[in-house]
Amino acid sequence: MKDARKVKDDEGSLPTGPGDQIPSAPSPADLGRQGEEEAARYLRSLGWTILGRNLRAGKSEIDLACRMGKDMVFVEVRVRSLGKWQPPETTVGPRKVAHLVRGARILAERWHWEGPWRIDLVAFTVDRKGVWRREHLEDITAGGWDPWGSCGG
């Protein structure tokens, strides 16, 4: 993604004195904000309309609320750096899904929405060179999505 922050490899000199600082990786909050912006850009490129960001609904937060044709889509955005134990899509468990459903219902009622709605997940993995990989999982509450793959159980 052309606007995503790129990390340069093997360029420049190493810090040598107390005034020099080693460039730090983006904080999780910075990655999250960047991920939400990348997700919004991606969804707009699909022709979706962004209705709101970081919406509070009861104890839930919805990252993005969008219109896609006749449907309302509530989007959870996840970002992980490569090397973390879990890919981002596996970090949305049953408790988080329940919060998302509760929040989406509250927003749909608050906005007097009577049409169909669903919850999607847009997940990004950022590698060590700053390259972003996107995964878009539609309708994560439909029951056919297994975040753990076919690991049995």
Which of 84, 78, 76 has the alpha carbon at shortest distance from 127? Answer: 84
pLDDT, residue 6, reads 32
State pLDDT tens for residues 106-140: 999 999 999 999 999 999 988 888 888 899 999 99
Q: How many residues does the chain have?
A: 153
pLDDT, residue 94, reads 83
Which element (helix H / strand E) includes 148? none
DSSP string for 12-62: S----STT--PPPPPPHHHHHHHHHHHHHHHHHHTT-EEEEEEEEETTEEE
pLDDT, residue 86, reads 61
> What SS3 class is residue 124?
strand
Place of tokens 């509530």: 74
Between these two residues, 60 and 16, which has the higher pLDDT value?
60
Q: Provide the token pair at 26.
A: 């983006």
- For residue 23, is pLDDT > 50? no
- For residue 5, is pLDDT > 60? no
Average pLDDT score over residue span 21-48: 82
State pLDDT tens for residues 36-88: 999 999 999 999 999 999 999 988 999 999 999 999 999 999 988 766 566 66
- For residue 11, is pLDDT > 80? no
CA–CA distances in Å: residue 50 to residues 40, 124, 128, 144, 147: 7, 19, 30, 26, 26
Beta bridge partners of 122: 77, 136
CA–CA distances in Å: residue 88 to residues 77, 115, 133, 151: 9, 29, 11, 17
pLDDT, residue 14, reads 40
